[in-house]
Structure 1
Amino acid sequence: MSRLESMIVAVGNTLYSTNSHVLISGLKTVSGLVKCPLKSLQRSLPVYLRQVLDILKQVGATESEVAQTSLKTLSTILRDGPAIDVKEKDLTFLLELVTPDLEEPSRQNPVFAILRAIVARKFIVPEMYDIMDKVSEIMVTNQSPQVQELCRSVLLQFLLEYPQGKGRLRSQMTFLTKNLSYEYESGRKSVMELLGAVVSKFQAGLVREYADMLFIALVMVLANDDSTKCREIAAHLVKSLVLRLDDQKRTEMISYLHTWSSQHTQPALVRVSSQVYGLMIDSLQTNMSSFISSILADIRGSLEHSAKQFEDIDDDDSMDVDLEWQLPYHALVALAKLIKVFPEIVTQPDGIAWELVVNHLLFPHAWVRIASSRLLGTLFSSAPIQAPPTADVDVPLYPLSSAGMREVATKLCQQLKSEHLDDALSLQTVKNLFFIGRCYASLPFTADSTNDLVQEKEDLGDEEGNENVSSEQQNHPLPWMFSKLSYQTRSALIAKRNRSSAG
């Protein structure tokens, strides 16, 4: 390494050459030398810097190979060499020189290398703020992922390292949140990538100051963006954001959701409130304990509204009905997440509105059906196997009552008839029916009803299954349920044979 000391002056002399090939080779050699721990480098570095700047001034533009190599060498000097002072007028010249190249694909890399080096050294000139505004725009509008990444990298470092007046920072944050609705997906994704870094790296006080702005903007992405990827990123950012907030600010976020959940004239707001409840539960876990009652009340309101819209639908198996499925789906998912964190609420009398969950078992969307069926499965797994109480006994959990269990069994049987049944839903439906069957088996049998269990009429009456059971069987729910399922199985086999014969 010591042998390189003698090269410092010799290499420096090549920077005065008028031959472009010699000049380019000398510049590349300087880039290598400044990375070495040489004693004489500190003394020669200002000379290197001065001459590289003079070369750039002489060529007057950045298109040539000499200019591009000079920029690369200059960025290496600033980034990897010993600390060095740079005059303000030289920084101003340099920034004015490279600004036009920010949007030139063939010349962007050296420009961003220069900017990263300047930001790393914290050189402050007014032009630096102007060029960063330009970088912000390019981060959104440029379609190249590589360029967007370069912009985000230097912009984040600038936001973290440079003095940002309160007004300027607010302007920058407003620019970012405004562009969450940018025309092209790539631009929106780029903004959210930067916001993710901002949320994780900014001081807690700054995150809290801009929490409302960020939260509302991200929720609007969840509600309105037609890109699945953008919605996924926004959901992740919401979870990251609430983790950085204190209890007071989280309470404010919950108050927003509570207000939105009652705005049934704006279905997107109601839907997204349930979705964000679920995201906050995912993120905060047991720290959501103080909000349980509020969340349950809002979920109840959403499910009531959905159930009311569903009441007038006659065809229980139709999946072609134009109903808002995302509202009940996100409400049911949020409820499932709440139960996972706070399992004790499953059996609390004044907790979950189970009758509303039952109301959605035949909702005309597969995701809503499976969500409601799984919730019932959670309830059944928490309940003891015992005979359902008689009708005159008050049961706080509707699906465990005699009437509730009968309604659930009827709707589960109806689910099994659906042409849209998939493996996940069929498995959960069978599990739920198995629990109900075990509860029914706990009821006492009379001798007559036991004998009648195997007596089924061969004529196929109405599809409710009552045609296949005697009056004694109908008094006991287990024969009724088995008869109903048996009838459905026979009907399905007959239909399958008919289709095969027709084919």
Structure 2
Amino acid sequence: MTLVVGIMEGCLYREEAARARAKAAVGPAFSAAAGLAPATAAVAAAAAAAAAANGDVNAERAALHETLVLEFCLTLLHSGVKRGALAGRSPELMAHLDPALPLLVRSLRSRQAGCVSLALRTLAHIVPLPLPSLRVAAPAAGTALNALLKKVPNIRHPIAQECFRLLAALLRDCEAYQPTTAQVQYLLRWAFEDLGEAGAQPTAFALLRALLSRRVVVPEVYDVMDRVQQIMVRSQSAPVRNACGVALLQFLLDFPLGPQRLKQHVGFLLANLEYEYESGRLQVLDMLAQVVAKFPVEVLQAHADVLLMPLIVRLVSDTSAKARAATGDLLRALLSRLEASQLGKVVSYCRAWLERGAGVGGAGVGGGGGGGGAQDAALRRAAVQTLGFVAEVEGSKFGRRFSDLVNGVLRILQRQVARGVDGNEDQSASLPDDESADAEAACPGWQEAYYCLLLLEKVAAQASGALAWPIQGAATASSLVPELWESTVRLLLHRHMWVRKAAARLVGYGLATPRVCGGLMASQPGRAAQLAFSFYLQLECEGVDEATCLQAVKCLVNLSVHLHRDDSNEDQNGGHVSHEDQREKHEQQEQRKRAREDRGHGSHAAGSGDGAGKRARGAADAGNGNSNGKDSRRYEEAEEEGEDGTEEQGDGDEDAGKGEQAKGEEAEEEEEADAAVAAATDGDGADGSDEEDGEGPDEQRQTFTLSGLVRRMVRLADDVRAERTCQRMAALRWIAAAATALGAADIATYLPVLLRPLYRISDAAAASAGERHSGITATAAARGGQVPEDVRHLAEEVMAHLRGLVGSEVLLASYNAAREYVRGRRAERKRRTAMRTMIDPAAAAAARRRDNLRQTARRKQKMEVLKRERSAKQLRQTGRRRGGGRGKRVR
């Protein structure tokens, strides 16, 4: 280090002498302009005169090349300071570095750009260190930096960028450097003139933050910050927006600002909440969130009125989901820092908005558009969302306010119920699951109902007593709470999926809360049946997700206990049913049975097109959730259609040479899968029950029993369609959970039915495994795809759980009964197929051709899946081999 310092000092001395000799002819004035001190200029001039007198031409020639030596020394010093032996803060290192500091400042006046750049970078690393001579060298460095900045053409020049870095380090880490007001004004006018250009942004923003930390109050600072906040909103570069946001926040927090100036900046941010591009709005929201989090409480509460209304409006008017979510987070944070009186004022505003056109009569039963127009609807939605944030902020204290708000919330829910969303609409259409305009057109006002349900969820979580069922003699929040729960129950089958999910979560809370469950079940006869039917339709609906299935299973398990209790009470009171009513019901069942038998023997002559149409209608009805008494007849017809051609196909194979045994087994397995799909897409006739024939949806909700729920869940567990795997696994989970909830004694009655899907799953898995061992690899793999691995593992877990619950003997007897039932159904299908072939050969041939085409398409689809899986596996193996090879070469 001593050698480097000595060489640098000699090189700088000779360079300054050469510069003085070159400028000696123009006098001291030009030397001062060249950056030399008067004393240095005089010494250099004397040395130049002596050298000229002695004729030392070799020394003058050598001085022209010593800049290379100086640059080499600066490179060594920069490398050592940055990451070498000089990187540290020990006293020994400081003693070595301190003599080099004045030389580095002198190097800033070098005529070589390389030397100047290295000196700037080295000084930027040395300035934060506690060097003794830094107090003396800092002002000289500042003067040299100003001189350099006046020489560079623009702020994008590399020397200008290095000057900015060193200036930022001096302003941030060196208290001895005190720039004059003129220097600061020059920097603010020149350095930040093109702040939006990409080349000048990182160092310029660092210098700006360093200047703001000094709190130099000059008019140019405010002008620069006006440009900064505009760039923060309008820039398309995320790093630039973030850097502007950091600088603006530092300015608002640390810089001395008057009330009017602060109001001006806050007003600019609020005005740009309506900026056309999402990125700018999100940056403004992030900036406001930082302001709300870090401003003093007194200042924030003084500006609360200015902040609240624009944010509440943006909750409903912003077209971006991200911006609305950020607005909600910001509004929640703002409300959490307000006083109770200010929160009461917000609640009073929201209550007034809820009352605007919120009457049921104003909306019209089934009418489109919200009562009072779209503006009133938007205000009600904003009010409900804001009340939800207030509930989160106040917690249990919000229960006192809820009694004044329950009337407006109830009106919004009742208006949605009055529009006919209680399961009476055509639910064969796909349910909306987004916030698009199409969803609003299909379900007018769904957002109001959805956010009302979210508000009730938050009230239940924060102040559960406000939603407790009224008890005679006990204090309650409102006498309208039962009507709230009734409206929530009727929204379980809303046309919009989000409303369904919110209503399901809220009803699930009510079922799990004793203060609500008792009153909810006793409020209406057959309430458990109604809820079970609604949750089953939610579970059966197309497009449900895992969360919806899980919530429906939880509620159905809870309701299974209530259904079992209702069935027990009905059995105990069964003697009150008159003999005439029993005889009339028996006669109706016999008539329906004879009608089905007549149709089963004579309705297949219509051909395959009619059968396909029936199956399509059955699938649509299943999607509607209309699993009423007609399901039994639809199931019989669809099952017969699914079995058409089984025996005829076998006869054709015998005529052609008997075929192969593997092909025959595959056809039988395919027909069994078709029958399972038919059972899944049709009604509850899978078990041959007719107890609910002739009942519409409304009557069926009242007569829904545990036996009917068991049959429907079994049918759902038998659904082998790939898109219904989520519902299938939910049904299996319900079997295990319901068995635990009911107990071993009560579940034993239903075990023969509950074990049927478990038997089919295990039988299919065992058959596919056996075929793999026997060598029929492709066929077994294709057929094994009917039972996914997760379904098979879950079925095994359910079986093990049932075995531990009821015992091995009871489970074995029920399992044998389920197996005999499934085998009997298969034999009955074959018998009916043969009978149908004899009665109507043409229809049987058409059905056989249709089944062959369907089986061929299914095989092609399965083989394509296998090919894709095989290709993906080969790619993974190839990638692992290549990765291993690279690893070996590296080692």
On whether the aligned pair clears a TM of 0.5, the verdict is: yes
CA-CA distance at 1:220 after TM superposition: 2.5
Residues 267-416 of structure 1 aligned to structure 2 (within 5 Å): 267-310=377-420, 314-315=424-425, 317-318=427-428, 319=431, 321-349=442-470, 350=479, 352=481, 353-383=484-514, 397=520, 400-402=523-525, 404-405=527-528, 407-408=530-531, 411-412=534-535, 414-415=537-538
Q: In the superposition, relative to structure 1, how do residues 254 and 302 fare at CA in structure 2: closer, same or farther (>3 Å)?
A: same
**8 A contact 2:142–2:177 mirrored in 1:** no
The root-mean-square deviation of aligned C-alpha atoms, in Å, is 3.6
Q: Deviations over 1:182-237 (max 9, x none)?
A: 11111111111111110011011111122223222222232122222222221211
Shifted more, 305-314 versus 333-342: the winner is 305-314
CA distance in structure 2 between the partners assigned to 1:176 and 1:279 by the alignment: 22
CA distance in structure 1 between the partners assigned to 2:222 and 2:513 by the alignment: 60
Q: Deviations over 1:10-44 (max 9, x none)?
A: 22211222222222222222222221111221122
| Aligned mate of 1:175, from 268, 276, 292 | 268
CA-CA distance at 1:121 after TM superposition: 1.4
* Partner-residue secondary structure (3-state), 2:250: helix
Aligned residues: 490
**8 A contact 2:107–2:119 mirrored in 1:** yes
TM-score (norm 2): 0.50
CA distance in structure 1 between the partners assigned to 2:713 and 2:158 by the alignment: 79
CA-CA distance at 1:295 after TM superposition: 3.6
Q: What is aligned with 1:392? A: none
Q: What is aligned with 1:243? A: 336
CA distance in structure 2 between the partners assigned to 1:33 and 1:362 by the alignment: 71
**8 A contact 2:692–2:700 mirrored in 1:** no
Q: In the superposition, relative to structure 1, how do residues 399 and 137 fare at CA in structure 2: closer, same or farther (>3 Å)?
A: farther
CA distance in structure 1 between the partners assigned to 2:146 and 2:446 by the alignment: 64
CA distance in structure 2 between the partners assigned to 1:457 and 1:272 by the alignment: 54
Matched, 1:457 2:589: yes
CA distance in structure 1 between the partners assigned to 2:168 and 2:714 by the alignment: 79
Q: In the superposition, relative to structure 1, how do residues 147 and 271 fare at CA in structure 2: closer, same or farther (>3 Å)?
A: same
Shifted more, 141-150 versus 305-314: the winner is 305-314
**8 A contact 2:343–2:390 mirrored in 1:** no
CA-CA distance at 1:49 after TM superposition: 0.8
Task: Give the counterpart letter for 2:403 in structure 1.
Answer: S
Task: Give the counterpart letter for 1:355 in structure 2.
Answer: E
Q: Deviations over 1:355-391 (max 9, x none)?
A: 21122122112221232233222222223899x9xxx
Q: In the superposition, relative to structure 1, how do residues 351 and 111 fare at CA in structure 2: closer, same or farther (>3 Å)?
A: same
| Aligned mate of 1:468, from 691, 703, 714 | 691
CA-CA distance at 1:129 after TM superposition: 0.5
Q: Deviations over 1:64-106 (max 9, x none)?
A: 2222211211111111222432211111110111122311101
**8 A contact 2:450–2:499 mirrored in 1:** yes
- Segments of structure 2 that go 5 or more residues without pairing to the other structure are 1-93, 357-370, 433-441, 471-478, 597-625, 631-689, 722-828, 830-846, 855-891
CA-CA distance at 1:276 after TM superposition: 2.4
CA distance in structure 1 between the partners assigned to 2:215 and 2:704 by the alignment: 80
Q: What is aligned with 2:81? A: none
Q: What is aligned with 1:199? A: 292
| Aligned mate of 2:566, from 428, 431, 440 | 440
CA distance in structure 1 between the partners assigned to 2:462 and 2:186 by the alignment: 59
CA-CA distance at 1:447 after TM superposition: 4.8
CA-CA distance at 1:494 after TM superposition: 11
Q: In the superposition, relative to structure 1, how do residues 41 and 491 fare at CA in structure 2: closer, same or farther (>3 Å)?
A: closer
Shifted more, 152-161 versus 2-11: the winner is 2-11
Shifted more, 285-294 versus 327-336: the winner is 285-294
Shifted more, 4-13 versus 160-169: the winner is 4-13
Q: What is aligned with 1:23? A: 116
Q: In the superposition, relative to structure 1, how do residues 446 and 384 fare at CA in structure 2: closer, same or farther (>3 Å)?
A: farther
Residues 74-89 of structure 1 aligned to structure 2 (within 5 Å): 74-89=167-182
**8 A contact 2:511–2:558 mirrored in 1:** yes
* Partner-residue secondary structure (3-state), 1:100: coil
Shifted more, 188-197 versus 298-307: the winner is 298-307
Q: Deviations over 1:311-355 (max 9, x none)?
A: 698425353743332221111111011111222233332252212
Matched, 1:146 2:269: no
* Partner-residue secondary structure (3-state), 2:398: helix
| Aligned mate of 1:117, from 210, 213, 231 | 210
Q: What is aligned with 2:278? A: 185
Task: Give the counterpart letter for 2:573 in structure 1.
Answer: T
CA distance in structure 2 between the partners assigned to 1:9 and 1:107 by the alignment: 29
CA-CA distance at 1:176 after TM superposition: 0.4
CA distance in structure 1 between the partners assigned to 2:139 and 2:453 by the alignment: 67
CA distance in structure 1 between the partners assigned to 2:198 and 2:706 by the alignment: 71
Q: In the superposition, relative to structure 1, how do residues 296 and 428 fare at CA in structure 2: closer, same or farther (>3 Å)?
A: farther
CA distance in structure 1 between the partners assigned to 2:121 and 2:701 by the alignment: 88
TM-score (norm 1): 0.86
Q: What is aligned with 1:14? A: 107
Identity %: 28
Q: Deviations over 1:400-457 (max 9, x none)?
A: 33265565455445545644555245425523532541441463523558998x9893
**8 A contact 1:377–1:431 mirrored in 2:** no
CA distance in structure 2 between the partners assigned to 1:175 and 1:375 by the alignment: 41
Task: Give the counterpart letter for 2:95 in structure 1.
Answer: S
Q: In the superposition, relative to structure 1, how do residues 380 and 96 fare at CA in structure 2: closer, same or farther (>3 Å)?
A: same
**8 A contact 2:245–2:287 mirrored in 1:** yes
* Partner-residue secondary structure (3-state), 1:29: helix
Task: Give the counterpart letter for 1:191 in structure 2.
Answer: V
**8 A contact 2:530–2:701 mirrored in 1:** no
Shifted more, 85-94 versus 460-469: the winner is 460-469
**8 A contact 2:469–2:516 mirrored in 1:** no
**8 A contact 1:370–1:424 mirrored in 2:** no
Task: Give the counterpart letter for 2:337 in structure 1.
Answer: R
CA-CA distance at 1:170 after TM superposition: 0.9
Q: In the superposition, relative to structure 1, how do residues 324 and 113 fare at CA in structure 2: closer, same or farther (>3 Å)?
A: same
Residues 481-496 of structure 1 aligned to structure 2 (within 5 Å): 481-482=705-706, 485=709
**8 A contact 1:139–1:190 mirrored in 2:** yes
Q: What is aligned with 2:557? A: 431
Q: Deviations over 1:292-319 (max 9, x none)?
A: 2234333213212322333698425353
Would you tell me which structure has more helix in proportion to its own residues?
Answer: 2
Q: Deviations over 1:244-298 (max 9, x none)?
A: 1111111122122222223342322222322222233233322423322234333
